Structure 1
Amino acid sequence: MWGSMLLALATGLIIGVIFQSLKIPSPAPPFLGLLGLLGMFLGQNAVPWIKTLLNH
Structure 2
Amino acid sequence: MKVYLISLAVGLLVGILYSMLNVKSPAPPMVALLGLLGIVVGEQLIPWIKNLI
Q: What is the TM-score of this pair, normalised by structure 1?
A: 0.59
Query: What stretches of structure 1 of length at least 5 have no aligned partner?
Result: none
Q: CA RMSD in A?
A: 2.2
Higher relative contact order (CA 8 A, sep 6+): 2
Q: What is the TM-score of this pair, normalised by structure 2?
A: 0.61
Distance (whole Å) between structure 2 residues aligned to residue 26 and residue 47 of structure 1: 33
Q: Percent identity?
A: 39
User: How many corresponding residue pairs?
Assistant: 51
